Amino acid sequence: MTMQRASSGGARRRHRGPRRAQSRGVVLVIALILLVVIGISSSVAIRTSLFGDLVSQNMRAQALALEAAELALRYCESQVAAGNYAAISVIEGGTDDEWRTESNWDTANSVPASVLGSNINYAVTPQCMVKRMSYAEAFPAENVPPNAKRIRDRLEDGEEYVFIFRITARGYSPDFRRDGDGRPVSGAQVTVQSALRAIL
């Protein structure tokens, strides 16, 4: 009887071996699955964080470029309003949109350092382009409603004429860069425009 019990116990021990190995195999598979899930979750979290940072940087660059463009616009507006045409370059007449041609910005007015201040260092100085047009050039006859203002306004002495100054300004973010062909490769660029009526 004793020998049979020992034999039976040995048999039971032999049957436990495969079950333990099987359990360890299941645990290993679960651990591998968890590692894969954790790896994917970490990758998604990193990408989401990087995307959020990129969006934030782009918004900041756009805001700084807009601020620079508005600064350039105010500078040229103030020069025109004061009649200080000697301080700026003015394009005379015509109906072309010179500001649309990239090469024309090479000779556009740059905002002086004294106006820019020292709070922000711009890689490309904000610029403004001023064009003086007659009333007829600014508002061609086919676009003027019947009750519109006369093309030429005269004062008492009959000498003065109405002119429209179209001011286009461009601003750039501090990190704005171009490649060798002049194409933007980083940063932001913003263009704004206004018109002033003057009697000369």
pLDDT, one tens digit per residue, over 43-101 is 777 777 776 667 678 888 899 999 999 999 999 999 999 888 888 999 987 767 899 99
28 domain-assigned: no
> Which portions of the chain are predicted below pLDDT 50?
1-3, 6-11, 149-159
Q: Distance of alpha carbon 182 from its chain centroid, rounded?
A: 17
76 domain-assigned: yes
Range of the domain at 179: 51-199
Rounded distance, CA 36 to CA 26, Å?
Answer: 16
Q: Distance of alpha carbon 87 from its chain centroid, rounded?
A: 30
How many other C-beta atoms can be found within 10 angstroms of the C-beta atom of residue 125?
17
Based on the structure, what is the number of domains in the chain? Answer: 1
11 domain-assigned: no
Q: Distance of alpha carbon 122 from its chain centroid, rounded?
A: 15
26 domain-assigned: no
67, with CB counted inside 10 A (0-12, 13-18, 19+), is: middle
Q: What is the pLDDT of residue 194?
A: 94
13 domain-assigned: no
In 82-129, which residue ranges form alpha helices assigned H by DSSP? 113-116
Token pair of 107 as six digits: 């000779």
Q: Distance of alpha carbon 57 from its chain centroid, rounded?
A: 9
33 domain-assigned: no
141 domain-assigned: yes
Q: What is the pLDDT of residue 21?
A: 59
Token pair of 125 as six digits: 């100085």
23 domain-assigned: no
